[in-house]
Amino acid sequence: MPKELVSMQLTKAERKADSAPCAMGDEGDKFPYGIALHLDDVILDKLGISDLPDIGATDTLQASVKVTSVSESASERSEQRRSVTLQITALQLGDSDSSPLYGSKKA
């Protein structure tokens, strides 16, 4: 059974915390730093996306990832921190031929 998607939107308390760096952009204060993907011409071509989607369009993303780094640290002055670095090795956007990221039909 597939796991349900978990919202990455920060709560008001998380946004106020000094230890919660945020992404840049219009919604930068709503989501944590480092979870946005930038797809350039090479990646868009690989995915068969020729026409750019409308700003605000939403869709699904499925990816295979490889763990490339793990870290855990603690100090007297701060709480324990953990992190995992994931390298995307394969990517699929949209789950149907009518995906807004592919226009009216996938290429």
pLDDT of residue 90: 95
pLDDT of residue 31: 85
pLDDT of residue 45: 93
**Angle made by CA atoms 50, 96, 30, in degrees to the nearest 5:** 75
Q: What is the pLDDT along the chain (107 residues), one digit of tens a residue?
A: 667 888 888 888 888 775 555 555 555 478 888 889 999 999 999 999 989 999 999 999 999 999 999 999 999 988 899 999 999 999 988 876 667 777 654 44
**Short-list 86, 85, 79, CA closest to 19:** 79
pTM of model > 0.85? no
Provide the residue type at 62 as one letter: Q
